[in-house]
Amino acid sequence: MTDAPNDDVSNLTFEAALQELERIVGRLEQGQVPLEESIENYRRGEALKARCDDLLKRAEARVETIATGADGAPKGVAPLDPG
pLDDT in tens, 42-72: 999 999 999 999 999 888 777 765 566 677 7
Is residue 27 in a domain? yes
pLDDT tens, 8-18? Answer: 899 999 999 99
Is residue 74 in a domain? yes
Is residue 47 in a domain? yes
Rounded to whole angstroms, the Cα distance separating 62 from 45 reads: 26
Is residue 8 in a domain? no
Q: Count the residues in the chain.
A: 83
Domain of 49? 14-79
For the chain, how many structural domains are there in total?
1
Amino acid letter, residue 43: R
The model's pTM is: 0.69
Is residue 4 in a domain? no
Is residue 3 in a domain? no
Is residue 7 in a domain? no
pLDDT given at position 1 = 42
71 forms bridges with which residues in the sheet?
none
